[in-house]
Amino acid sequence: MADIDPMAEIRASFFIECEELLESLQDGLTAMDDGDFDSETINVCFRAVHSIKGGAGAFGLEALVRFAHRFETVMDEIRNGRLEPTRDTISLFFRGADVLFDLVRASRDDESLDDATVELILVDLEALVGARLAEEEAEEAEGADFTPMSLSLDPIDGDDHSGFALMDLDAPLDDPAIPPTSSAPAGFKIAFHPAAELFASGNEPRHMLAALRDFGEPHITCDLSNLPDLTGLVPEQGVVGWHITLETSARKEEIAEVFEFVDGLCELSIEATGSAPALPDLESIDLENIVIPGPRPDDDTPPQDATPEPAPATPPSASSPPAPAKSKDKSTGSAKATVRVDLDRIERLVNLVGELVINQAMLSQSITEAGVPTNSAVGSGLEEFLQLTRDIQESVMMIRAQPVKSLFQRMSRIIRESSAMVGKSVRFVTEGEQTEIDKTVLERLADPLTHMVRNAVDHGLENTDGRLAAGKSADGIVTLTAAHKSGRVVLEVKDDGSGINRERVKQIAEDKGLIPPGVQMQDQEIDNLLFLPGFSTATEVSDLSGRGVGMDVVRSAIQALGGRVTITSEPGSGTTFSISLPLTLAVLDGMVVETGGETLVVPLGSIAETLTLTAADIEQLGADTTLVRIREEFVPILDLAVELGFRTPLEGYEGRSVLLITSEDNSRTALVVDRIVEQRQVVIKGLQESYGRVAGIAAATILGNGRIALILDPTDLIASAGSSGPHSAQPFAIAG
């Protein structure tokens, strides 16, 4: 972290911005896909691509600029209403967005992308426009002789096949209040002389001049009349001015808006030209209510007398979306104010708060040990301190929390790609996009979720014929939901396919020797076979499967995050995979226990219940296995201290405490410990980084006395006990 190149920093923030822009592009396209062709939606997409192009240009990222430019050009066709946003077009745009995403990534990481794929999509994209343009040219030629009598009033659907519509290109699409008549080429004469303050405040006349292009083709001449001799030149002084003739149908305010930010920092005059003689003094007329109807006398186009409509047009409502030029400058108008903070800093804060929690616990402990009564001033002060610490901790965790939206958007791409690959038509539905999860968790979820989503498309959904035969719609539906449930985040990947074919799953497991043949199994147990290493149901290897990654990898990835995966499947109506995750990786609700002279923490989430053993509950089975009877069920006992090698097995377990652990496959194990100490929140400290993985141990934490206690991973512990310990014959190890 020595010398940070300032350029590198700016570049890094450009790429962060790109991610945001790509996200809004996805949002916009999704909205369009859902039938929202509001001009603002289209503008958002266009602006996103445009901004990426602009930034990329500044950093000399040529491949990105080239693609963004051509993509943008095609998008502009939609924006101008020349190209109909059909479903095919939008799906092509989605692909374009995907390529743009790849290009951004590649530029960021200084990699190069396969030009062929990029070119392919561009060809497809431009074929859209090419077709359009060719069509238009033909029509234009054809339509040159006649004057269209009416124009479409809907600017979006303005796929008007008239020559005139072509002239209307630059009318602001987002203001349907302007009747088409106003688009008769009126114009403005603008004189713009920036003062020194304009430059001092960081404004750039070039951008304003460029923004005028949104209204029409400006003819700009530079006014050098104020240019002094070289000797008299003060570089800070604005001496150059511009005269612009702009042929446009836009209203004066819209033009003035371009210069809104430099109001008072320049000499500016905007005069209407070519307007109808009926409106001689535009300056004095309330432009809000009047639109310039007249055609320019010297215009080449035949005047549109057919629709003179003297224009008491509806005044544009206050809430109408801002003109494109303006919104372009302020890319995120009403977004919440945010601050970009380096993740390392947050990480540091999280660690410090972690320390604070530990320190607070140590302080409480020593005060209790000193015999200070809890109702004393110190005691109540400590109580408040505790509360404050908790609040701080929660707030800090909130900083790291991020909505799952970005992850869901990535999944939507996976769906598009995988459905195209297997030739199924899939509708992707998301719910709860705003649900927040710790950023680290979010990042590490991408891979397992990708796999599950692919599985849903590849294995979950039937092909179109199968769906139709089953009386379902041709489009398969994959639903991705996120929600907070009792202190955890639950993500669900649901398909409306045929459900798990349990017969086949069991057959395959038997064929592969994963289970002994002929075993009676419950549905749930069969479903869990999918998580076994080396299991894959795909009889024919499709493009999507055969990646060497199975559901077992998905499960271990989720478990590494402190999460659980469960399957529910209904024959004929689909399969749901649920992932339940902790809100954060940094704190854990745990039960502190003592056994074999050591203190350990067991995650509260894995404990179904606790009880104290009596002689009557304990039964022996064979030589090594002890069972405990819990209500009507016998559960095998696992001595935690023995399992971890802290002591040799005890003679009897009477009077010991038992934690009843329920595994994912619903099998239960009674974990025996000497004593349950308390239930508390602990700060998780990674063990993996400093030492490596320890079987049965998830992480470590620091206790109130400053010592380290290990946090147990009960599922892993039970699984490894099943495979290596004396209890290997137990059925509970099957899907562990």
**Interaction site with other proteins (CB under 8 A):** 351, 354-355, 358, 598, 643-646, 685-688, 690-697, 700, 702, 706-710
Q: Name 271's bridge partners.
A: 189
Closest CA to 45 of 80, 75, 84: 75
Interatomic CA distance for residues 624 and 726, integer angstroms:
7
Q: Which is nearer to other proteins, 641 or 735 (CB)?
A: 641
Interatomic CA distance for residues 678 and 490, integer angstroms:
27
Q: Which is nearer to other proteins, 385 or 646 (CB)?
A: 646
**Nearest distance, CB of residue 683 and other proteins, angstroms:** 9
Q: Which is nearer to other proteins, 396 or 544 (CB)?
A: 396
**Nearest distance, CB of residue 364 and other proteins, angstroms:** 17
The Cα-based distances of 606 to 166, 445, 562, 563, 713 in angstroms read 67, 21, 10, 10, 9
Is residue 101 a contact partner of residue 117, using CB atoms and an 8 Å limit?
no
Q: Which is nearer to other proteins, 490 or 709 (CB)?
A: 709
Interatomic CA distance for residues 170 and 82, integer angstroms:
11
**Nearest distance, CB of residue 379 and other proteins, angstroms:** 26
**Nearest distance, CB of residue 697 and other proteins, angstroms:** 7
Q: Which is nearer to other proteins, 77 or 713 (CB)?
A: 713
Burial 317-354 (b: 16+ CB within 10 A, else e): eeeebbbbbbbbeebeeeeeeeeeeeeeeeeebbeebb
Closest CA to 472 of 572, 576, 575, 577: 572
Is residue 185 a contact partner of residue 167, using CB atoms and an 8 Å limit?
yes
**Nearest distance, CB of residue 688 and other proteins, angstroms:** 8
Interatomic CA distance for residues 158 and 171, integer angstroms:
11
**Nearest distance, CB of residue 619 and other proteins, angstroms:** 27
Q: Which is nearer to other proteins, 41 or 393 (CB)?
A: 393
Interatomic CA distance for residues 119 and 588, integer angstroms:
50
Q: Which is nearer to other proteins, 203 or 351 (CB)?
A: 351
Interatomic CA distance for residues 398 and 34, integer angstroms:
32
Interatomic CA distance for residues 149 and 508, integer angstroms:
71
Is residue 220 a contact partner of residue 213, using CB atoms and an 8 Å limit?
no
Output the CA torsion 557→560→564→569 (10° steps): 10
Residue type, 500: I
**Nearest distance, CB of residue 110 and other proteins, angstroms:** 24
Q: Which is nearer to other proteins, 491 or 733 (CB)?
A: 733
Q: Which is nearer to other proteins, 686 or 726 (CB)?
A: 686
Counting beta carbons within 10 angstroms of the beta carbon of residue 736, is it exposed (0 to 12), middle (13 to 18) or buried (19 or more)? Answer: buried
**Nearest distance, CB of residue 699 and other proteins, angstroms:** 9
**Nearest distance, CB of residue 265 and other proteins, angstroms:** 54
Interatomic CA distance for residues 714 and 669, integer angstroms:
9
Interatomic CA distance for residues 258 and 220, integer angstroms:
15
Count CA within 13 A, CB hemisphere, residue 514. Answer: 22
**Nearest distance, CB of residue 354 and other proteins, angstroms:** 7
Interatomic CA distance for residues 527 and 504, integer angstroms:
11
Closest CA to 411 of 481, 469, 310, 330: 481
Q: Which is nearer to other proteins, 473 or 705 (CB)?
A: 705
**Nearest distance, CB of residue 655 and other proteins, angstroms:** 24
**Nearest distance, CB of residue 690 and other proteins, angstroms:** 5
Q: Which is nearer to other proteins, 618 or 694 (CB)?
A: 694
Residue whose entry in the numeric block shows the structure tokens 């995403």? 101
**Nearest distance, CB of residue 703 and other proteins, angstroms:** 9
Q: Which is nearer to other proteins, 307 or 351 (CB)?
A: 351
Q: Which is nearer to other proteins, 295 or 596 (CB)?
A: 596
